[in-house]
């Protein structure tokens, strides 16, 4: 490394001179740094768009392309409306039902037969010795220092019963967390013996002797489901007749063919009817959401494709930033980043696929007149609006009420094979069957999948390092090559700077020598 000199002999500002000479040679390197920055910004924009594409494809079009999404029905309860309530989960496969509730499901219970024994607790109500017990096979450990409140909390958290302690009566009650038959944990502490019993079972002296809980023995109470002596009750299943079929359920709430039914009271001979019908309101809302999601994505894409490019605003160099305020840098870079994907082929292709899809005809040969979006009230706006969709809700509602399956097919149809003049399936160059009458949402799902793959080819999957030779994406390779050239250029500038300093150092030595000789001559003739 050459020692820097200050120009004492020549009186020149050598550092400043060398800096300017080197700076004059930096222009090609600065241009490459700016080119690299533009590529890095483009990569960031592509990544942001890829995230939006993923959301549009997986969270929106994926839903609209599924036929089951359109199986929206509503359940109308008639007859004995006090016996049951009903609602649908959106996907209904069944038909109308007539239901009679013979009995409701109840939960098993158990209560202390008398006040608990407090001899195991100190004056502050804390347990004085450890106790281990189990309820329905679930182990519970009561530790020294636990209060009764702590113990019942452990029971509720660790088992399938809810425990309650009444300090006034010093008694405990247990209620199964589910109605009907009770799951019991096996001896291995892991395997559940499903619906093993209709009573709460337990083991351990602490429960029997301290909490005074007794098992169900069926003591005489006049009711076979109650033990009046041991204060325990059996669980009961619900007994129901559905369309004349007698059945039982462990819960008062259950689902039949997509309809969630809740039993409220016994029917007492008065049946309840559940009538299924298409939920037009929900289907209208679904299609409105499709239009909204489409317009949002289209606007995003068109906004980027049409964004103005300010070519006079190149990325700032570090030297340029030194003389600018932070706000000035932000304003400059905002324009420098603008329009980086102007008229981009990948995004443009996505827009074309969207607009082509909404113009498609989906005719599955059913004779329906609703084979295009325009026939169900969805049309494009003015030419200047670049494909924005508008919805005539009244026309859509009429179409849904007349032919809901046609509306479903318009968006979700998986297509039919295209046939040649001989009736044979047409295949593409890859050997795949060519489909026609593919639903609009299905088309968009597939086209955005293709667009995402194209973006990945452009920017790569995970690599963000500018000097990563393993990144074989288009932009990745461009950035890598520029980085290599920039580093090589920096090395050349460093060598050049060293050479300049060597030259000025030699000059300074010569000047210093000349000055010394001049001084010697002056002294000789003085």
Confidence of residue 445 (pLDDT cuts 50, 70, 90): very high
pLDDT tier, 525 (very low <50, low <70, confident <90, very high otherwise)? low
pLDDT higher than threshold 60 for residue 391: yes
How would you class 394 by CB atoms within 10 Å of its CB: exposed for 0-12, middle for 13-18, buried for 19 or more?
Answer: exposed
Asked if residue 287 lies in contact with residue 391, where contact means CB atoms within 8 angstroms, the answer is yes
Q: Yes or no: say if 236 and 180 are a contact pair by the CB < 8 Å rule.
A: yes
pLDDT value for 198: 93
- Asked if residues 103 and 316 have their Cβ atoms less than 8 Å apart, the reply is no
CA dihedral 355, 361, 362, 364 (to 10 degrees): -170
Contact 266, 102 (CB under 8 A): yes
The pLDDT of residue 518 is above 50:
yes
Instruction: Compute the distance between CA of residue 512 and CA of residue 7 in angstroms, rounded to an integer.
Output: 10
* Whether pLDDT at 48 is above 70: yes
CA–CA distances in Å: residue 29 to residues 464, 474, 487: 21, 21, 9
**Partners of 139 in the β-ladder:** 134
Q: 11: pLDDT confidence band, cut at 50, 70 and 90?
A: low
Rounded Cα distance between 204 and 135, Å, is 9
Q: How far apart, in whole angstroms, are the C-alpha atoms of residue 119 and residue 384?
A: 87
pLDDT of residue 258: 84
What pLDDT is stored for residue 510 in this prediction?
72
Contacts of 195 (CB under 8 A, 6+ apart): 180, 181, 182, 183, 250
The answer to whether 508 and 9 are in contact (CB under 8 A) is: yes
Mean pLDDT of 179-207: 89
Give the model's pLDDT for residue 462: 62
Nearest partner of 210 among 165, 255, 260, 273, judged by Cα? 165
pLDDT tens figures, 85-112: 999 876 666 679 999 999 999 999 999 9
Q: Is the pLDDT confidence value at 513 over 90?
A: no
- pLDDT at position 95: 79
- pLDDT value for 6: 54
Is 319 a residue whose pLDDT tops 90?
Answer: no
Q: What DSSP element (H or E) covers 92?
A: none
pLDDT classification of 190: cutoffs 50, 70, 90: confident
Kindly list the domain boundaries of the chain, sorted by start residue: 1-43+461-526, 44-67+282-459, 73-105+238-278, 109-233
Tell me what the pLDDT averaged over the chain comes to. Answer: 89
Kindly report which listed range (256-260, 366-370, 496-500) carries the lowest average pLDDT score: 496-500
Q: Give the contacts of 20 (CB within 8 A, at least 6 positions apart).
A: none
Check: CB of residue 128 under 8 Å from CB of residue 198: no
Query: What mean pLDDT is predicted for residues 312-323?
Result: 90
Confidence of residue 25 (pLDDT cuts 50, 70, 90): confident
- Distance, CA of 484 to CA of 96 (rounded, Å): 73
Q: Which of 275-279, 391-395, 465-469 has the least mean pLDDT?
A: 465-469
Residue 142: pLDDT over 90: yes
The per-residue pLDDT for range 197-243, each reduced to its tens digit, is 899 999 999 999 999 999 998 877 678 889 988 999 999 999 999 99
> What is the per-residue pLDDT for 301?
97
pLDDT at 1 over 50: no
- Torsion sign over Cα 447, 451, 452, 457: positive
What are the CA-CA distances from residue 130 to residues 37, 133, 146, 147 (Å)? 69, 10, 9, 12
Tokens of 248: 């039982």
This prediction's pTM: 0.71
Residue 15 above 80 pLDDT?
Answer: no
- pLDDT at position 13 is 66
């Amino acid at each position: 490394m050459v020692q820097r000199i200050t120009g004492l002999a020549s009186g020149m500002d050598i550092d400043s001179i060398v800096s300017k000479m080197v700076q004059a040679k930096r222009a090609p390197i600065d241009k490459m740094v700016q080119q690299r920055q533009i590529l890095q910004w483009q990569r960031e924009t592509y990544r942001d768009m890829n995230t939006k594409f993923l959301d549009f494809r997986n969270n929106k079009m994926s839903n609209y392309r599924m036929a089951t999404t359109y199986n929206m029905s509503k359940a109308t309860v008639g007859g004995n409306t006090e016996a049951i309530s009903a609602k649908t989960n959106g996907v209904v496969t069944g038909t109308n039902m007539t239901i009679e509730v013979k009995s409701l499901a109840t939960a098993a219970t158990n209560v202390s037969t008398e006040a608990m024994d407090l001899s195991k607790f100190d004056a502050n109500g804390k347990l004085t010795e450890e106790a281990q017990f189990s309820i329905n096979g679930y182990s519970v450990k009561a530790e020294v220092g636990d209060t009764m409140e702590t113990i019942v909390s452990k029971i509720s958290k660790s088992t399938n019963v809810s425990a309650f302690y009444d300090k006034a009566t010093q008694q405990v009650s247990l209620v199964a967390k589910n109605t009907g038959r009770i799951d019991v944990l096996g001896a291995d502490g892991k395997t559940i013996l499903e619906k093993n019993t209709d009573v709460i079972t337990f083991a351990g002296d602490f429960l029997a002797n301290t909490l005074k809980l007794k098992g169900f023995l069926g003591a005489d109470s006049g009711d076979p489901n109650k033990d009046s002596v041991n204060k325990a009750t059996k669980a009961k299943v619900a007994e129901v007749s559905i369309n004349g079929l007698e059945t039982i359920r462990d819960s008062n709430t259950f689902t039949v063919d997509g309809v969630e039914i809740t039993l409220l009271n016994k029917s007492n001979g008065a049946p309840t009817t559940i009538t299924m019908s298409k939920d037009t309101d929900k289907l209208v809302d679904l299609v409105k959401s499709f239009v909204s999601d489409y317009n949002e994505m289209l606007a995003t894409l068109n906004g980027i494709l049409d964004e103005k490019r300010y070519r006079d605003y190149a990325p700032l160099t570090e030297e340029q930033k030194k003389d600018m305020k932070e706000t000035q840098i932000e304003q400059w870079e905002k324009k420098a980043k603008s329009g980086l994907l102007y008229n981009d082929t990948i995004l443009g292709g996505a827009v074309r696929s969207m607009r082509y899809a909404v113009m498609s005809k989906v005719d599955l040969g059913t004779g329906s007149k609703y084979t295009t979006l325009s026939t169900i009230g969805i049309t494009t706006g003015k030419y200047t609006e670049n494909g924005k969709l508008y919805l005539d809700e009244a026309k859509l509602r009429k179409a849904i009420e007349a032919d809901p399956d046609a509306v479903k097919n318009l968006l979700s149809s998986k297509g039919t094979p295209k046939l040649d003049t001989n009736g044979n399936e047409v295949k593409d160059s890859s050997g795949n069957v060519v489909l026609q009458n593919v639903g609009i949402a299905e088309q968009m799902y597939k086209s955005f999948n293709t667009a995402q793959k194209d973006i990945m080819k452009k920017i790569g999957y995970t690599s963000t390092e500018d000097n990563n030779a393993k990144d074989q994406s288009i932009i990745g390779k461009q950035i890598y090559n520029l980085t290599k050239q920039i580093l090589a250029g920096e090395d050349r500038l460093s060598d050049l700077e060293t050479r300049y300093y060597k030259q000025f150092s030699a000059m300074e030595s010569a000047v210093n020598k000349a000055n010394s000789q001049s001084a010697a001559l002056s002294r000789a003739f003085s």
